Structure 1
Amino acid sequence: MRCAPGDLHDLAAEVLTDSPAHERQLFDLRLDRWFADLHDGLAAVFPAAAVGPLERRLIGTAARAFADRDPELKELDLRRTLDDAWICDPGMIGYATYADRFAGTLAGLGDRLDYLSELGVSYLHLMPLLEPRPGDSDGGYAVADYRRVRADLGDTGDLRALATALRGRGISLVLDLVLNHVAEEHAWAAAARAGDAHYQDYFRLYPDRAEPDAFERTLPEVFPDFAPGNFTWNAEMQRWVWTTFNAFQWDLNWANPDVLVEFAEIILFLANLGVEVVRLDAIAFLWKRLGTNCQNQPEVHALTQALRAVSRIACPALAFKAEAIVGPTDLVHYLGRGVHHGKVSDIAYHNSLMVQIWSMLAAQDVRLAAHALRAIPPIPASTTWVTYVRCHDDIGWAIDDADAAAVGLTGWGHRAFLSDYYSGSFPGSPARGLVFQENPATGDRRISGTAASLCGLDVALQAGPVPGRVGAGLVDAALARVLLGYAMVFGWGGIPVIWMGDELGLRNDPDWASEPGHEEDNRWAHRPRMPWDVAEERQDGATVAGRMFTALRHFATVRASLPYLDATVEAEIPELADPGILPVLRRHPVGVMLQLYNVTAGWRPWPGHLLHAHGLADGVDALSGTLVQIGLDGNLWLAPHASLWIVPRG
């Protein structure tokens, strides 16, 4: 282990002069433990002469945050240090929502914690709640102040109180931290517009179109409908500003070490409020390199490593989650590959699994998914995935052309099929999604919609004799598709996250466009306000809400009891025996677990000899509690859209 230089220990001692001796000793031990990660991350990005001074600034920041940290949070740091795989536990069940749409305010959300505990939630992701710009703020991702909470939700005192209440229930609070850009109203941007050269260097500014045009040759457009191009003219500065997402979101210049220090301070500020996971939004876009798409550049991982090292020194209970919706070969780097192995983010979104679940449900075929999921390299054992059926965002069809070709499809053709199917334009499709950001040049059509609407519940209820009641076959089929998707994400390992409303079978909000600022963004169709009258039906098994809530709560309970689902165990896709059944194998030291998912609307067989091969011919389906039954024909038969979690008996 490379220990920190003496001058950094001396600096920490000065800052911590009033701290007890055991805390000074603890900080020194952490400084030595994480110094190499900090130094190597900085040295990979900044000139050698800048590294030493930057280390001093960051260690001073870490020491001050450590000194200010609440004793209860320092105890949590010790607990997490002793159990650094806490994010991998099968009892981790996530829930994601907007605070205002769930409960109005942060205080109101605190009054609804019984609901989350009843569902089995241990990880709560609250969508952007730091102060955004007025008006359109890209759903809160245009942040005007990282140290203030939206006034309509409360203040930082309310956030601290909520984090404390959640921690008392064993629920970790997750917040978004937007790294790539700030709102044009942010104080840094305001100072830059006023002519402050120090803050102008926080951004990517250009006097003419020469460099922007050179970059544009290889840059994609994130929002071609809302914000074509990647640069915006600012008349006050007479400069072009790099604006990847929207004209009002100014990309930051991460080549400037001051930006790194600013965000280190912000991360530790949030951690000291009680935030346990920071979602690193748009992290893939941080570093700009001419001739590339300016995503997934090596410096991104070095910068993340440095930030993580600072947080480990000050507050090791904090985990990093990478919001990188990129291809599988790029995605694993956000959990650490090569020199960054296990040193960057602790959690990442398994976007590929989400896309393949929707692909399997539409095509009723698992071959593409099996090929694509097998191709994802293993991740560090100390890290894990967030698995999800859907999120706050639209669904982009990240189907790799090579993966599609490997199973006899074309990438373009399959992506077009999925867009047609989930928008409801494909003949016979029960889905009722909305096309989001169609790009005529590329043919890209992303899809908005709740899980229930994408699985056909709208159509089923229109046809059913008694809306929402058990008995309509189309309703049963629609809910079976939703639950099949959730069984897959609960069974994959990692942290399965329920998006608010899916646990009640909520459909698209028909009034999504009526709220000011939402008119042009149909993603609000799948971000409805929580209908608490519907939630009151969650104990009634004769309603859609009751069936969904009971099923997902059951998934959570069963999952927490199964050591096979610890995320330190890799999910494997064994040989297929039927193109309609996805097998997932998990080899844990206590035994083998085989999951089988029938993605078709018909009965499908699974060969009994494959169960014998894994010692599971007399196994138990953990979801139903029933023994495995191999028929006289030698097969185990799965009902339409059935999910089996087969474990050893006893």
Structure 2
Amino acid sequence: MDEALFFAGMAGQMGAPDAYRTADLQARVRRHFPDLMAGLQAVYPQAPAVAGRAAQVIGRNLAERPAELLALDLERIHTPDWFQQPHMHGYIAYADRFAGTLKGVGQHIGYLKELGIRYLHLMPLLLPREGENDGGYAVADYRQVRPDLGSMEDLEALCTQLRHEGISLCLDLVLNHVAREHPWAQAARRGDPRYRAYFYIYPDRTLPDAFERTLPEVFPDFAPGNFTWDEELQGWVWTTFNRWQWDVNWSNPEVFLEYLDLILWLANKGVEVFRLDAIAFTWKRLGTHCQNQPEVHALTQALRAAVRIAAPAVAFKAEAIVAPEDLIAYLGSGKHYGKVSELAYHNTLMVQIWSSLASRDTRLFTQALRRFPQKPPSTAWATYLRCHDDIGWAISDTDAAAVGLSGPAHRRFLSDFYRGEFPGSFARGLHFQENPATGDRRTSGSAASLAGLEAALESGNPRLINLAIERILLAHAVFIGYGEGIPLIYMGDELGMLNDYDYAQEPAHQDDNRWLHRPRMDWAKAQKRHQEGTVEHRIFHGIKGLLQARARIPQMHAAFPTQALWQPNPHLLLLRREHPQGRLVQVYNFSEQDQPFPFEALQQEGIVQPFDQITQAPAPAYLGPYARLWLTQRPV
């Protein structure tokens, strides 16, 4: 298979494109075909045949791509850093909890624009299995929308509406598994050999037991083990997450082609970013923990290259919550450098923000960031404070030891602190998936409740309420100002929404306390953002001000790296960003106490007259509780 044959396979599905379109497509093939073939050859012995069939999938979907999206493709080819721009701010929401339906989401676009949002991630909305469905991640049909939210036509209309308002839609695409009720799984259960080959099915426990010796358990409380006996299959099927979520077999090229077709079909509906869910688990290898295997990155490179040919407006975001040394590969390292996903989650940043808020000490934070691998300049991190998931206390033992801490002891401290069990804790949260064998205890809770607002409001103490608000704004300033990617605001955090303890009253949610921090949007509370002096007004406009500042600062472009700076005050975090238009140094006070301004550290960075880009004023003489400053040399 060469470029000419590949292009011919595409063109055969498209009719006769005009001369300009032919030249455009040939240029895309010349640019991305080598990456496609390299990725396929690393995985499939029959790579040329797979590439030939991929060409047909691409051509068929290109023939159906709407003219408006073809125009967006052209625009993105000429502005490949569109997702790295300082004004790219994201928002994460469940469509039903935010606005009831997809049409309802469209009615609240004005609210998103008021906040400054240019990227909207709607949590799983494709048709899940009935009953338990892992929050929508057990997908029964990728080509249908949940009927309570609307239809596929409604999704396409919403994509168009958002696009016209300058907002890109991100959608979840679960790569590792499908629901037991998915058509592929139904066909496998009926005995169809083609679809049985889409899954890992074993006649007895010999191989499952061999794999289990090195496999961790994702949900040890309610889904122990990684294999499930299925009577209809008369076999053991691989089920990493739940018995009704069947892992698909990516060593079968038919699975690759199915997912490529799905991505391009959804891209033609207007989806611009795909969150590649559970991507780390997609390749299995005996004797390993079956995560982060090299084939994962080869396959993603092949998918990305194919999508770059068919729909260049589309970007990938890797949902890989793994150690930093493994995470960087999801943006591309070695031979895959810059050729995998455009975006990935910066889980370390999130964990270290919460760690420093609890300890009032930033030395571990600085150590972790200084050891964090540098990403390819053409990529970006998704930075965040909270998401729909629990917080796993991913504190490196190496980093902890470097600053005189015990990793296991610090992880226990954090889980106790954010459960509210540690003396003096301001937090209200719950343990999630406690594992007695490993001592792992993750945490559920909304950002505001974990940051102390719930307890402060109950106390009625104005000082504690003020400290909680300042703590929330500091935490947001760190991930918004980090600058190497798209900051993501989780729905309701911009209003200080608290834990929703009523989750336990819903049968479908009562066994999963992550619903504690997935409340329904309180639009009455949102109205209070217009009332000066309210908690909602202070938090909403505090976050909005941070986003406005970020949008006007060229140093926030994601191509430029951030470096944590050592300095003597353990309560302060200093981050430096280099840029042709001047150096930016961010200063954060992680304590409730006033701290001296770090003039000496700033002078060492060449900033002798510090000017705060958030307030557009000269820097103060001292740092108040939870102060946050984005400093440049004072403009002339």
Cα distance, 1:386 vs. partner? Answer: 0.4
1:489 aligns with 2:479: yes
Cα distance in structure 2, aligned partners of 1:462 and 1:237:
54
Stretch deviating more after TM superposition (242-251 or 506-515): 506-515
**Conservation of the 8 A alpha-carbon contact between 1:4 and 1:36:** no
Cα distance in structure 2, aligned partners of 1:548 and 1:568:
29
Aligned position for 1:647: 632
1:587 aligns with 2:578: yes
1:578-633 alpha-carbon deviations (Å, 9 max, x no partner): 11100000010000101001111111224322222223221211112221245xxx
1:74 to 67, 70, 74: 70
**Conservation of the 8 A alpha-carbon contact between 2:3 and 2:29:** no
Stretch deviating more after TM superposition (12-21 or 188-197): 12-21
Cα distance, 1:18 vs. partner? Answer: 3.9
Question: What amino acid maps onto 1:638 in structure 2?
Answer: L
Q: How does 1:341-420 map to 2 (within 5 A)?
A: 341-420=337-416
Cα distance in structure 1, aligned partners of 2:282 and 2:626:
41
Aligned position for 1:520: 511
Aligned position for 1:634: none
Which residues of structure 1 form unaligned runs of 5+? Answer: 466-471, 631-636
Cα distance in structure 1, aligned partners of 2:513 and 2:12:
54
Aligned position for 2:313: 317
1:245 aligns with 2:265: no
Cα distance, 1:308 vs. partner? Answer: 0.3
Aligned position for 2:565: 574
Stretch deviating more after TM superposition (114-123 or 13-22): 13-22
Cα distance in structure 2, aligned partners of 1:31 and 1:147:
27
Cα distance in structure 2, aligned partners of 1:11 and 1:236:
39
Secondary structure class of the residue paired with 1:121: coil
Counting matched residue pairs gives 634
Stretch deviating more after TM superposition (510-519 or 488-497): 510-519
**Conservation of the 8 A alpha-carbon contact between 1:503 and 1:552:** yes
Secondary structure class of the residue paired with 2:600: helix
Secondary structure class of the residue paired with 1:612: helix
Stretch deviating more after TM superposition (537-546 or 345-354): 537-546
Cα distance in structure 2, aligned partners of 1:87 and 1:186:
33
1:6 aligns with 2:21: no
Cα distance in structure 2, aligned partners of 1:4 and 1:314:
17
1:85 aligns with 2:81: yes
Cα distance, 1:5 vs. partner? Answer: 3.1
2:24 to 4, 23, 26: 26
Aligned position for 1:338: 334
Cα distance, 1:397 vs. partner? Answer: 0.2
Cα distance, 1:4 vs. partner? Answer: 4.0
Question: What amino acid maps onto 1:32 in structure 2?
Answer: R
Secondary structure class of the residue paired with 2:284: coil
Q: How does 1:194-213 map to 2 (within 5 A)?
A: 194-213=190-209
TM-score of the two chains, using structure 1 as the length reference? 0.96
1:535 aligns with 2:533: no
**Conservation of the 8 A alpha-carbon contact between 2:12 and 2:59:** no
**Conservation of the 8 A alpha-carbon contact between 2:126 and 2:144:** yes
**Conservation of the 8 A alpha-carbon contact between 1:4 and 1:31:** no
Aligned position for 2:135: 139
Where in structure 1 do 4 or more consecutive aligned residues deviate above 6 Å?
Answer: none
Question: What amino acid maps onto 2:624 in structure 1?
Answer: A
**Conservation of the 8 A alpha-carbon contact between 1:584 and 1:594:** yes
Aligned position for 1:107: 103
Cα distance in structure 2, aligned partners of 1:492 and 1:135:
40
Q: How does 1:286-325 map to 2 (within 5 A)?
A: 286-325=282-321
Question: What amino acid maps onto 1:8 in structure 2?
Answer: F
**Conservation of the 8 A alpha-carbon contact between 2:276 and 2:316:** yes
Cα distance in structure 2, aligned partners of 1:214 and 1:605:
58
Cα distance in structure 2, aligned partners of 1:577 and 1:272:
53
2:623 to 624, 631, 638: 638
Secondary structure class of the residue paired with 1:152: coil
Aligned position for 2:606: 615
1:547 aligns with 2:532: no
**Conservation of the 8 A alpha-carbon contact between 1:287 and 1:295:** yes
Q: How does 1:410-559 map to 2 (within 5 A)?
A: 410-464=406-460, 472-493=462-483, 494-559=485-550
TM-score of the two chains, using structure 2 as the length reference? 0.98
Cα distance in structure 1, aligned partners of 2:634 and 2:599:
16
Aligned position for 1:469: none
**Conservation of the 8 A alpha-carbon contact between 2:401 and 2:407:** yes
Q: Flag the 1:66–1:310 CA change in 2: closer, same or farther, 3 A.
A: same
**Conservation of the 8 A alpha-carbon contact between 1:452 and 1:505:** yes
Cα distance in structure 1, aligned partners of 2:633 and 2:121:
34
**Conservation of the 8 A alpha-carbon contact between 1:539 and 1:550:** no
Cα distance, 1:376 vs. partner? Answer: 1.2
Cα distance, 1:12 vs. partner? Answer: 2.2
Question: What amino acid maps onto 1:275 in structure 2?
Answer: V
Cα distance in structure 2, aligned partners of 1:380 and 1:257:
29
Which residues of structure 2 form unaligned runs of 5+? Answer: none
